[in-house]
Amino acid sequence: MADASDFRTAIKPVWCPGCGNFGILTALRGALADSGLEPNQVMIVSGIGCHGAVTQYVHANGFHSIHGRTLPVATGIKLANHELQVIAMAGDGDGYGIGIGHFIHAMRRNLDITLLVHNNKRYSLTTGQTSPTTEKGSSTKSTPFGVIEVPVNPLTLALSSGATYISRGFAGDPPHLRKLIADGIAHKGFALVDVLQPCITFNHVNTNAFYKEKVYKLGEDGDYDPTDMVAAYERAVEWGDRIPTGLLYKESRPTYEDEVMTIKDMPLVERPVVGVDISKTMEQFR
Ligand SMILES: Cc1ncc(C[n+]2csc(CCOP(=O)(O)OP(=O)(O)O)c2C)c(N)n1
Ligand code: SF4
C-alpha cells in the first residue's frame, strides 16, 4: 500500500520559502495515502497560478490545465473514466473568479470530484493583484486605494449551489487539512475543501499569524451538526476574531455519474468503439 512518500516526485517546488502551498502539498500527499490510493488511480488537475505547479510535485496522473478551467477538464476526465480519483486544484482567482460559473455548475451536478482551492486572496502568480476573495478595503497592486467590492464567500456559495461536502482547512495545520481532504475523497459526490493559504510575498494581511490567532475547529466549542444547513450558513458567514475551519456541511445525494446511462455499466474509456476508425486520432496522442 502506498504511503505519503510514494506520492513525491523528484522535482523541487519553486514556491517561495514559507508559502502556504507547501502545507497543502504535504496534506494532499498524506490524504491520498490515507485513502488507500495508488498513484496510478489518482488524477490531479490544476489551473494556472502558483498553485498550478502542484501537478509536478505529486507522483500521480496530472493535467496542468488553463486558468479557470480546472473543473471542466476534471469533469471531462471523470466522465471518461469515473474509476479515477479526480482531484481538482485551483487558486481563488482561478476557481472563484474566471472559473466561478464552472464552480457553481460542478456543485449542482454533484460529480464525484474533490476540489481544493488554494485561497490566498490574491492573484499571486501575476504578482499580487486583487482576487475575488480579497477583503474589502485591502490595498493591492491593482487596487492601491483599497478594494471596493465585498469578497465572494465560497462557503455560502457552495451551500446555495448544491455542494454535498463543504469544508475549510488551513495550510498552517497540515494534519487537520489532511483529514479534511481524505474525508472529501471518501465522500461520494462533489467535495469542496477551501484552504486558507498564506501568500507570504503578496498578502501581508492574511498571514500565517493572522490565521493562527483566529481559526478554530468546528465542534471544538460544543456540538456542531454538519447536516444542519441553517447552522452551516451561520458559521459560513463568520469572519472576524474567529474563523471556523473543519467540516461545515455534508449531505448525501446521487452523483452525476450514477445517473448517466452510458457509463452505468462500465467507464466510457473501456467501452468498445464500433463503426468508426479512431486509430489515426489515437496515434496523435502516443
Ligand atoms: C484566460 C487567462 N486569463 C488570465 C491569465 C493570467 N493569469 C495567470 S495566473 C492568474 C491569476 C492567478 O491567481 P490564482 O488563481 O488565485 O492563483 P495563485 O497564483 O494565487 O495560486 C492570472 C490572472 C491567464 N493565464 N489566462
Ligand atoms: S507568490 Fe505567494 S502563492 Fe506564489 S509561491 Fe510565493 S508565497 Fe506562494
pLDDT in tens, 79-130: 999 999 999 999 999 999 999 999 999 999 999 999 999 999 999 999 999 9
Q: Is 90 exceeded by the pLDDT of residue 32?
A: yes
Q: Average pLDDT for residues 40-48, to the nearest whole number?
A: 98
Quote the ligand 2 centre to 158 CA distance (angstroms). 26
Quote the ligand 1 centre to 239 CA distance (angstroms). 25
- Max CA pair span of the chain: 64
* pLDDT at site 264: 85
What's the pLDDT tens digit per position in 140-156? 999 999 999 999 999 99
* pLDDT at site 286: 79
Question: What gap in Å lies between CA 141 and CA 123, rounded to an integer?
Answer: 10
The single residue listed with the C-alpha cell 481563488 is 92
Q: Is 90 exceeded by the pLDDT of residue 282?
A: no
The single residue listed with the C-alpha cell 514556491 is 15
* pLDDT at site 27: 98
Quote the ligand 2 centre to 191 CA distance (angstroms). 25
Q: Is 90 exceeded by the pLDDT of residue 207?
A: yes
Question: What gap in Å lies between CA 134 and CA 149, rounded to an integer?
Answer: 9
- Which residue of 55, 126, 133, 200 sits with most ligand 1 atoms within 8 Å of its CB, as the best mutation to test the pocket? 126
Q: Closest residue (by CA) to atom 5 of ligand 2?
A: 15
DSSP-derived 3-state class of residue 8? strand
What's the pLDDT tens digit per position in 222-256? 899 999 999 999 999 999 999 999 999 999 999 99
Q: Which residue has the higher pLDDT, 59 or 221?
A: 59
**Closest ligand 2 atom, residue 14 Cα:** 5
* Residues at CB less than 6 angstroms from ligand 1: 48-51, 67, 91-94, 118, 120, 122-126, 131
Quote the ligand 2 centre to 75 CA distance (angstroms). 27
pTM of the model: 0.96
- Which residue of 57, 120, 134 sits with most ligand 2 atoms within 8 Å of its CB, as the best mutation to test the pocket? 120
Supply the DSSP symbol for 169.
E
Quote the ligand 1 centre to 65 CA distance (angstroms). 12
Quote the ligand 1 centre to 58 CA distance (angstroms). 21
Q: Closest residue (by CA) to atom 2 of ligand 2?
A: 199
Work out the burial of residue 40: count CB atoms within 10 Å of its CB; fewer than 13 is exposed, 13-18 middle, 19 or more buried: exposed
Superfamily of domain 4-261 in the CATH hierarchy = Thiamin diphosphate (ThDP)-binding fold, Pyr/PP domains (3.40.50.970)
Q: Is 90 exceeded by the pLDDT of residue 46?
A: yes
* pLDDT, averaged across the chain: 96
* Residues at CB less than 6 angstroms from ligand 2: 15-16, 19, 21, 50, 120, 124, 199-202
Name the closest ligand to CA 197.
Answer: 2
Q: Is 90 exceeded by the pLDDT of residue 285?
A: no
Q: Average pLDDT for residues 194-202, to the nearest whole number?
A: 98
Name the closest ligand to CA 49.
Answer: 1
Q: Which helix (DSSP H) or strand (DSSP E) does residue 245 occupy?
A: strand 243-250
* pLDDT at site 221: 83
Instruction: Write the Ramachandran bin of 271: left for phi over 0, alpha for psi from -120 to 50, otherwise beta.
Output: beta
Question: What gap in Å lies between CA 272 and CA 256, rounded to an integer?
Answer: 22
72: phi then psi, degrees, rounded to nearest 5: -60, -40
| Domain boundaries of the chain, sorted by first residue | 4-261
* pLDDT at site 86: 98
